[in-house]
Structure 1
C-alpha cells in the first residue's frame, strides 16, 4: 500500500473532563483500504506526546497488523473525528516518545 492511500484523523477525548492518565487528543494514520491503524499519537493535557506504530509493536517479531483490535470502520463508527493533514500528523509523530501498547516487554 502506498502512503497516498493513508488518511489522517484526530479526535478529542469525548468528555469535558479528561481522566488522569488519558490523552486529550488522539491522532491516527489509517490505511483505509486495509482498514488498519498504522501509527498513532496521543497528546496529554500536560503537553506530553506519545506515539506508537505497527513497526514499533512488531520490533520483537510479534504480529500486529493494526493498532486497534477491531476494524477501523467498526471501531471508530461512533467517534467524532476530523481529518487532518499528513504534515500535521507527522510533525506531532516526530516529537512523540515511543510508547508501545500491545507487546510491552
Structure 2
C-alpha cells in the first residue's frame, strides 16, 4: 500500500493539472514548456511533459484556452502560446471555490 500523503499529493497535483495551468494563464499567455517550468517553480511539482500537452489540448478543445502561434527570433522555432478565455476564467474560479469549500469542511 502506498503512503496516504503521497497519494493525496498525486491526486491534488497531477490529476487536477488543469487547475494549475488555468491559474498560471490568468497571469499571461504562455507556451507549454514555459507552463511546465512555472508549475514547478510556483507549485513545487513537475508534471510530465506529455500530461501538460494533453491537458492543454483538452482545455483548448473545450474552449477554456485559445492558442496562437508566435514567431520567435531568427533561427528559433515558432511557439504556440495559450491564453485563458472567459470560460476558462469561470472554470478556474469554480475550481478554486470547490477547493476552498472542501478545505473549510475539513477544518471544521
TM-score (norm 2): 0.28
Larger Rg: 2
Q: Which one has a larger percent strand, Structure 1 or Structure 2?
A: 1
Q: Which one has a larger percent helix, Structure 1 or Structure 2?
A: 2
